[in-house]
Amino acid sequence: MKVLVVGGGGREHALCWAIAASPLCEALYCAPGNAGIAKEATCVPIPAEDVEGLLAFARAEAIDFVVVGPEAPLVAGLIDRLSDAGIKAFGPSAAAAELEGSKGFMKDLCAANGIPTARYRRFTEPEAAKAFARELGAPVVVKADGLAAGKGVTVCPDLETAEGAIDEALVGGRFGAAGAEVVVEDFLDGEEVSFFALVDGTTALPLASAQDHKAAFDGDRGPNTGGMGAYSPAPIVTPELEARIMAEIVGPTAEALQAMGRPYRGVLFAGLMISPEGDPKVVEFNVRFGDPECEVLVTRLMSDLLPALVATAEGQLSHLTLRWLDSAAISVVVATKGYPGAYEKDSVIRGLDTAGADENVEIFHAGTASNEAGETLATGGRVLAVTATAPSLAEAQTKAYTAIDLLDWPEGFCRRDIGWRALGG
Ligand code: AMP
Ligand code: GLY
Which ligand has the nearest atom to the CA of 331? 2
Higher-confidence residue: 176 or 18?
18
Return the axis-axis angle of helices 103-112 and 251-259, rounded to nearest 10°: 100
- Flag whether pLDDT at 139 surpasses 60: yes
Question: Which atom of ligand 1 is least distant from the CA of 271?
Answer: 10
Residue type, 301: L
Q: Which amino acid is at 152?
A: G
Residue 112 has pLDDT above 90, yes or no: yes
pLDDT bin (cut points 50, 70, 90) of residue 256 is: very high
Q: What is the mean pLDDT of the chain?
A: 96
Q: What is the pLDDT of residues 90-106, one digit of tens each?
A: 999 999 999 999 999 99
Three-point CA angle 79, 80, 84, nearest 5°: 115
- For the CA of 230, the closest atom of ligand 2 is 1
The protein residue with its alpha carbon nearest to ligand 1, atom 11, reads: 283
Task: Pick 425 or 250 by higher pLDDT.
Answer: 250
- Rounded Cα distance between 44 and 423, Å, is 41
Please tell me the predicted confidence (pLDDT) of residue 424. Answer: 77
Using CB distances shorter than 6 Å, the residues near ligand 2 are 212, 226-227, 286, 290-291, 293
- Protein residue with its CA nearest to atom 15 in ligand 1: 283
Mean pLDDT of 215-239: 94
> Rounded mean pLDDT of 402-413?
98
pLDDT at 425: 55
Distance 291 CA to ligand 2 centre (A): 5
Condensed to tens digits (0 to 9), the pLDDT of residues 372-395 reads 999 999 999 999 999 999 999 999
CA distances from 184 to 134, 180, 243, 262, 288 (A): 10, 13, 30, 26, 24
Q: Which ligand is nearest to the CA of 136?
A: 1
Q: For the residues 195-223, what does the mean pLDDT come to? A: 95
Of ligand 1's atoms, which has the minimum distance to the CA of residue 214?
Answer: 10
More confident residue, 120 or 178: 120
CA–CA separation, 45 vs 40, rounded Å?
15
Q: Report the pLDDT value the prediction gives residue 150, as an integer from 0 to 100.
A: 75
Alpha helices (H) in 271-328, listed in sequence order = 293-300, 305-314
